[in-house]
Structure 1
Amino acid sequence: MLPRELIRRTGSNNPKKVAYVCGDHEVTWGQMDARSDRIAAVLLSMGCRVGDAAAIIAPECIEVYEHFFACMKAGAIRVGINRRFTPAEMIHVLRDSNARYLFVHASCTDQIEIIRDVLDELDIGVIGFGGAHNFASDLDALTDAVASVPDMPSLSSEDPLFYSYTSGTTGVPKGAVLTHGAVTVTILHALAEFGFVRDDRFFLPTGNAWVAVVLAFLGLGNGMTHIIADGDYDRGTFFDTVKEKSVTAFLLAPTMLKWALEDNKATPFDLSSVRLIVYGSSPASPHLIRSVHETFGKDMINVYALTETTWGGVSFLSPEDHRRGLSTKPKLLSSVGRVASHFEISIRSEDGQPVAVGEPGEVWLRGPTVMAEYLNLPEQTQEVQSEGWLRTNDIGSLDEEGYLYLLDRQKFLIISGGVNVYPASVEEVIVKHPGVADICVVGLPHPEWGEAVVAVVHRADSHPELSHTELIEFCRDKLNRPSVPKHIVFTQEDFPLTTNFKVRKNDVRNLLMSRPQDIPWDLEG
């Protein structure tokens, strides 16, 4: 079954059921089906063929999903452009994807004007929407002119549906090629794992330019309602929206959960409508999980997913798993759960051989939602794909019950004195100190050990005098000697974050490297 068939059936079976709520604007599943028909007709009338790329740059708004559904129907390849990209990055994505069309929200007009010459050079048709703009074509005018909806072209489950450009921390964005069939599988399996039902109202506040956009149309599989941010995630109003829109479930990154705990101290939130808190995107410490549970008292699900698996929901730590972790088996809170049934998993050594249960290695995955390739990057594709398996670059281990524990990204691995140190494992220990509000661990060159562990720490307001010595002593009986930080850097500067709220560790490391006077050894050593 293709995603466009889900649109048709959900629209037909739930014509008056609210599909999306964005601020004061609501649309039904029947309206989403009809509106996306008209946008698909516009694309076809402009000469769009199966496999042509139709890019979009916009804040969160309902038109983002009307456009995506239209691409599902017409066979266009949806390309989301991150509004925080530099002009050079935007140009790269447009060139790399060979975009023929660019849908531009009125609020993004100034950004597009900067690259107008490139759009003309590439002969990209620009279509404005969402307010006043100065583009020649307007989406509402074009859809109003549609006399009838033509037959849609034939499609295969193997056809590309969208290119998701990785948020990344280094280099130019690279596009993962994700198919129609992979999206259908993701939708249906995610609904089962989350336990969502037709009456749920799910609030996903993250951006629409990356792969998690799939979570904002899970309702195609059951007719539930999606609450989306009116523009961008707003820390100050998020929980007001939860209350006002009777949200039953929401997803936040761990960084956002930390903010929620801080803000709830000043004015406790009304979460009476909420039954489930979902979190993911980056590691969450057991300390944070316990704090969220103690504060809000809701069921929780942790999810591990990747761009290269069409989001896909690789593994889930269920509400019952959380209850076990909070009571009889605390180690579970360090896990990302058990692997979903549409994936095979293998933990492999550097030479590609499976390792024993409990031993660390690279996580390899195989399943129907794995990307087709990295667009225009055959060598990088070959590096991560082997006989149907995806090499994730994540280091993890499996226990005897099948729970997956992620130790860190392979690229963040620190080798100190010949010993492998996983920054996430060090962070998990240090954040338990009551004087630590936030933490980022990186490796820096060391003249004796090759690399040394350095922790960059935000002090908690309750411990303004927390010292280097105190924190080092706190670690000594909890970490092996190479893992104990050789230096602590205290800062009040916010950590740089990706669009999905992961800390840009390479940026933190580069900042430290640019300040050698703050490190008590010779970085050139």
Structure 2
Amino acid sequence: MGLFISHCNKIKSKSGNREGEKMKRDVINNLLYSNIKVDIDGQPLGRLEILPRDLVKRTGVNNPNKTAYICGDRRASWGDMHARSDRIAAALQAKGSAAGDVVGIMAPECIEVYEHFFACMKIGAIRVGVNRRYAEAELRHVFVDSGMKFLFVHASCRDILSNVRDDLRTLSILTIGFGGEHDFDADLAAMIGDACAAPDLPPLAAADALMYSYTSGTTGTPKGAVLTHGAIAATILHALAEFGFVRDDRFLLPTGNAWVAVVLAFLGLGNGMTHVIADGDYDRATFFDIVREQGVTAFLLAPTMLNWALEDNRRTPFDLSSVRLIIYGSSPASPALIKRVHETFGKDMINVYALTETSWGGVAFLSPGDHRRALSKKPELLSSVGRIASHFEISIRNEDGAPVRAGEPGEIWLRGPTIMTNYLNLPEQTDAVLRDGWLRTNDIGRLDEDGYLYLLDRQKFMIISGGVNVYPAAVEAILAKHPGVADICVVGVPHPEWGEAVVAVVRRHDGHAKLTGSELIDFCRDKLNRPSTPKHILFTEDDFPRTTNFKVRKHEVRELVMTAPGSLPWDGKGDRD
């Protein structure tokens, strides 16, 4: 830093006080995240940013024998990850891959997923995780939309691609198989055996695309969020600090690797900690066996998975003696659920609010201290997602884009170094969400006087009933307090009197088979205003349709409510509650 300031002082003497001071500020402010080059007296300062591939090399060299990944019976050190990703990168280059080429992967959780990602980091390839649960039309969309040139495929995914093999050939996508017998164009093990030990490293900038992360598809066709090398590097370094991870942690992240949360599974690039990953897919029956056997110190679960954990723990209590931290996020968690988790497991907890468009490292965090304060004397904090991380700016704005007064609800706008550059091939949708460096999140929230953020709901899920804005998440939080409710989804449907009416679809807890809709509606009457109180309750014994990151597909639930014969009690004469 002293060298840079010295150079800026030279500029200051040549260019005048104000201009020199401005350049000094620009250099300092962009030290981590930009690609500024300053040429003084013919001496270039060079790139200033830290790239993810730098972290791969440094972590591998500095922690050569430290375990990076545990996957079933397999282990890989950080030194192994650096060396293997070098060989995969060199093998790709031997097949003609160049910086900017899209290199996809379709695989269950396995160590090769991260070797592949690190190889992409090194040679400037753009990584795309292909969701194994996509329908054929969605697969074709991703292949075409991304401009994919290479696709790594785990042998277990062969049948998934059976009906799109002709599309892969038509698009000239080279398929590379691994993890068992296959009939793809090339074999990863053979490629590595023939490759050089290290790739040629092309020049890269922080602003270059590193990954296209396709949204989980709660509505419409998946959109590819373009995330850069600089955004991912910033995510790694800031997330480590906010989560409080240390070198000796063993972090278990059970969610799928096709979406943006995969970034959390290589946070160890910033501190050398160990990641424990599923051997295949998240398995509710064995998850806590892995926690015990591998000495996991921290894990992340979606609220739905925490509900499952509570149900399973009632039958056979888990051994969580190694665990110090439970992290939850991805979708809203009710205060009632948080209390039950804390009372049952007695561990520190962190809630994280994040989006695909912010590289998912975390925008806001409700810390362990916040949880303790909420559980002892300030219960309203459990409805909050915490305070904004220091690398973000936040603004709560109305429909016209003007900031609202403190405490008032509005759309959450964010600005920071981890935000996507655009939606791939979607200029109109990009323009709709990116304004002057700000990201419009489509989330409705409010900030209290202490800077805590309260999420009310997604703007697109808001129900307008009797002219009143109703946020489904707020209704779900009330109903979740009832001891008979195991899971819930609130949607809005057309109503002849109210315009839209609130309908709740409920899965009962075991032992509450006699719980009625009238009981739940009565339970809400003194806790919600009339427009927000459900007009009808439907019961289901099935889990709700969900995305791969366990968000409820509300549009599908609403469609089921609308199309189920006799599911709604009104007939044009108003409600019957």
Q: Deviations over 1:111-137 (max 9, x none)?
A: 223211111111111100011111231
Look up the match of 1:354. 403
Q: Distance in 1 between matches of 2:197 and 2:562?
A: 61
Q: Give the match for residue 31 of structure 1.
A: 80
Paired residues of 1:475 and 1:484 also in contact (CA < 8 A): yes
Radius of gyration: which is bigger? 2
Partners of 1:371 and 1:524 in 2: CA distance? 48
Q: Distance in 2 between matches of 1:358 and 1:123?
A: 54
Structure 2 equivalent of residue 448 of structure 1: 497
The equivalent of 1:366 in structure 2 is 415
User: In 1, are the aligned partners of 2:247 and 2:271 still within 8 Å (CA)?
Assistant: yes
Q: Indicate which of 329, 332, 351 corresponds to 1:302.
A: 351
SS at match of 1:33: helix
CA distance in 2, matches of 1:135, 1:46: 15
CA contact (8 A) 1:445 1:524 kept: no
What is the letter of the counterpart of residue 484 of structure 1? T
Q: How far apart, in 1, do the equivalents of 2:509 and 2:101 lie?
A: 51
**2-side partners of 1:255 and 1:503: how far apart?**
9
- Distance in 1 of aligned mates of 2:197 and 2:528: 67
In the alignment, the residues of structure 2 paired with residue 273 and residue 36 of structure 1 have an alpha-carbon distance, to the nearest angstrom, of 31
Q: Name the CA distance, whole Å, in 1 between partners of 2:217 and 2:160.
A: 21
Listed one character per residue, the Cα deviations across residues 389-428 of structure 1 (whole Å, up to 9, x for unaligned) are 0000000000000000000000000000100000000000
2:190 partner letter: A
The residue that corresponds to 1:481 in the other structure is 530
Whether 1:67 aligns to 2:95 is no
Which of 425, 428, 444 is residue 376 of structure 1 equivalent to? 425
Counterpart position of 2:444: 395
Shift of 1:150: 3.5
Q: Distance in 1 between matches of 2:551 and 2:242?
A: 24
5 Å matches for 1:62-141? 62-141=111-190
1:74-223, aligned counterparts within 5 Å?
Answer: 74-223=123-272
Q: Distance in 1 between matches of 2:270 and 2:163?
A: 40
Q: Deviations over 1:33-89 (max 9, x none)?
A: 000000000111111111110010000000000000000001000000000001111
Q: Quick one: distance in 2 between partners of 1:436 and 1:184? A: 41
- Cα distance in 2 for partners of 1:358, 1:170 equals 30
Match of 2:315 among 258, 266, 272: 266
Which structure 1 segments of 5+ residues have no match?
A: none
Residue 16 of structure 2 corresponds to which residue in structure 1? none
Tell me what 2:289 maps to.
240
Q: TM-score, normalised by structure 1?
A: 0.99
The 8 Å contact of residues 513 and 523 in structure 1, kept in 2 or not, is answered as no
Q: In the alignment, which residue of structure 2 is the partner of 1:517? A: 566
Q: Which amino acid aligns with 2:217?
A: G
Alignment match, 2:389? 340
Give the length in aligned residue pairs. 525
In structure 2, relative to structure 1, the CA distance for the partners of 1:86 and 1:352 (3 Å cut) is: same
Does residue 56 (structure 1) correspond to residue 100 (structure 2)? The answer is: no
CA distance in 2, matches of 1:285, 1:514: 29
Please report the TM-score for the alignment, with normalisation by the length of structure 2. 0.90
**Matched residue SS, 2:362:** strand
Amino acid at match of 1:200: D
Task: Return the alpha-carbon distance in structure 2 between the equivalents of residues 147 and 484 of structure 1.
Answer: 66
> Counterpart of 2:455 in structure 1: which amino acid?
L
Answering whether residue 519 of structure 2 is matched by residue 491 of structure 1, we say no
- Indicate if the aligned counterparts of 1:254 and 1:284 stay in contact, CA closer than 8 A: yes
- What residue is the counterpart of 1:471 in the other structure? 520
C-alpha displacement of 1:524: 12
Matches within 5 A, 1:272-351: 272-351=321-400
Q: How much does 1:148 deviate?
A: 3.8
Is structure 2 residue 280 aligned with structure 1 residue 231? yes
SS at match of 1:482: coil
| Percent of residue pairs bearing the same amino acid type | 73
- Residue aligned with 2:285, SS: coil
CA contact (8 A) 1:161 1:180 kept: yes
Q: 1:366 to 1:147 in 2, by over 3 A?
A: closer
Q: Distance in 1 between matches of 2:149 and 2:441?
A: 31
- What is the CA distance between 1:485 and its match in structure 2? 0.4
Q: Which residue identity does 2:464 align to in structure 1?
A: I
Matched residue of 2:291: which SS? helix
Deviations 1:276-301 (A, max 9, x none): 00000000000000000000000000
Instruction: Tell me how far 1:516 sits from its aligned partner.
Output: 4.6
CA contact (8 A) 1:22 1:62 kept: yes
CA separation of 1:11/1:45 partners in 2, compared to 1, >3 Å: closer, same or farther?
same
Give me the whole-angstrom Cα distance separating, in 1, the residues matched to 2:509 and 2:72. 34
| Alpha carbons 2:123, 2:199 under 8 Å: kept | no
SS of corresponding position for 2:566: helix
Inter-partner Cα distance in structure 2 for 1:467 and 1:90: 42
Root mean square deviation of aligned Cα = 1.0
Structure 1 window deviating more from structure 2 (489-498 vs 291-300): it is: 489-498
* Whole-angstrom distance in 1 between the partners of 2:515 and 2:315: 23
